[in-house]
Amino acid sequence: MDEKLYYGRGKDSDNKKLIAFLDEVFFTDDETNRDFLQILPKIYHDEYRPAYNNFVVQDENGDFRAAVGDFYIDLDVCGEKIKACCIGNVAVGLKYRSMGYMVDLMEMSVEDMMNNGTDLAYLGGQRQRYGYFGFETSGVSYSFEFNKKTAKHIYGGRKSTLRAEKLSENDEENIKKIDALYQKNIIKANRPMKDYFRILRTWRHTPYVVFDGDEFAGYFLMNYDYNWISEASVTKTEYFSELALLALEISEKESVRFNVAPFETDKLGYFTVNSENISVGGCESLLVLNYEKVLRAYLKAKASYSKLADGEQTVLIHGKKADEKLIIKVKDNVPTVEKFDGEADCEMSHHEAVRAFFSNFTFDRNKLNAPAQQWFPVPAFIFSADQM
């Protein structure tokens, strides 16, 4: 590291300067009115200390050369509390590329996570670039296309029986109802009520409230281009059919896509029968720092909506933070994950373990026995509104 430069957490006094730097790096060629404060209002207002939540490189004049955001978030995975961190806004000034700044700041970020007991980290970005720091393409997510031709066959050309209104920032009553539906998810993030509207606006999504007459029936989040619903929930399962049609009407597009988590079984039941195209993909790139705790939580989540075969698997994982020797058991659909002192049945590198346990890739799961291959991948999923 150059001793003439400042490396460390940003200063609160530089919040606006940081956002201007990020806008310059990411939107140099963008002629539309886009800025980080608009895209991620839940973390870039001064009250959230955006500069402090970045590891930065600044010159003697205080000008930024690089920044990497570390945004901590609490997850609830089937009742297990998981301390997570999202890496966001990885930025290097145009004049300072290929000088090692990104490497330095990413390493500082990962070290910070290890020092404060982080269980899991996630980010979106190029797989090979972030693989150096322990991240691996992971997670399970389903995408369903619902189009006008599909709607014509299912509904015969009629309109949805539901209606929708854009959620307003001060609509506390409906925000609480939305949160009540969100809290039913077995995997969810901490969403403070005072920040709720900003959270729903992540990535410039538009939140809609759905009504059956005057009765609250659910909600959905429509993306900026009005062709993707990243999150949706209803008060009655039978409303999914009408919500799908309603979202298509509001989009005014030929088709819309619905993002569905593996544990949203009621929604999966409708879309697997009625959607035109189905794709299975990843969610985010994950860095697992506490395999024992994270595997236990996500296996418990999977067992809550699917039947796991009885069995036992021991494994030695050469993790990014430390080696972990674990025994994983399932008995009567109750999984346990504990430390293990004996000789493990199989051995995995950090990246092999993440792929085997958390991703759609199957090759690394060949090291596991038959019951264990049935348990994985676990439903590592995070809603778009909770990403950074």
Rounded to 5°, angle at Cα 387 from 112 and 72: 25
- The full set of domains in the chain, from first to last, is 6-118 (3.40.630.30), 141-281 (3.40.630.30), 286-375 (3.30.1050.10)
Residue 34 is predicted with a pLDDT of: 67
Residue 29 is predicted with a pLDDT of: 62
Greatest distance between any 2 Cα atoms in the chain:
70
Residue 125 is predicted with a pLDDT of: 86
User: For each of the chain's 388 residues, which pLDDT tens digit applies?
Assistant: 777 899 999 999 999 999 999 999 988 665 565 688 889 999 999 999 999 999 999 999 999 999 999 999 999 999 999 999 999 999 999 999 999 999 999 999 999 999 999 999 999 988 889 999 999 999 999 999 999 999 999 999 999 999 999 999 999 999 999 999 999 999 999 999 999 999 999 999 999 999 999 999 999 999 999 999 999 999 999 999 999 999 999 999 999 999 999 999 999 999 999 999 999 998 899 999 999 999 999 999 999 999 999 999 999 999 999 999 999 999 999 999 999 999 999 999 999 999 999 999 789 999 999 999 999 999 999 999 999 9
Q: How far apart are CA 40 and CA 43, in angstroms?
A: 6
Alpha-carbon distances, residue 35 vs 23, 26, 271, 340, 363 (angstroms): 6, 9, 35, 49, 41
Which residue, among 97, 145, 83, 93, has the nearest Cα to 321 in the 3D structure? 83
Instruction: Dump pLDDT digits (tens) for 100-152.
Output: 999 999 999 999 999 999 999 999 988 889 999 999 999 999 999 999 999 99
Inter-residue contact 35 to 45 (CB < 8 Å):
no
152: CB partners within 8 A, 6+ apart: none
Distance of CA 132 to the CA centre of its chain: 20
Residue identified by tokens 């509904």 is 155
Q: How far apart are CA 177 and CA 62, in angstroms?
A: 45
DSSP-derived 3-state class of residue 258: strand
Rounded to 5°, angle at Cα 11 from 8 and 17: 110
DSSP-derived 3-state class of residue 353: helix
Inter-residue contact 364 to 138 (CB < 8 Å):
no
Both tokens assigned to 343: 């000789």
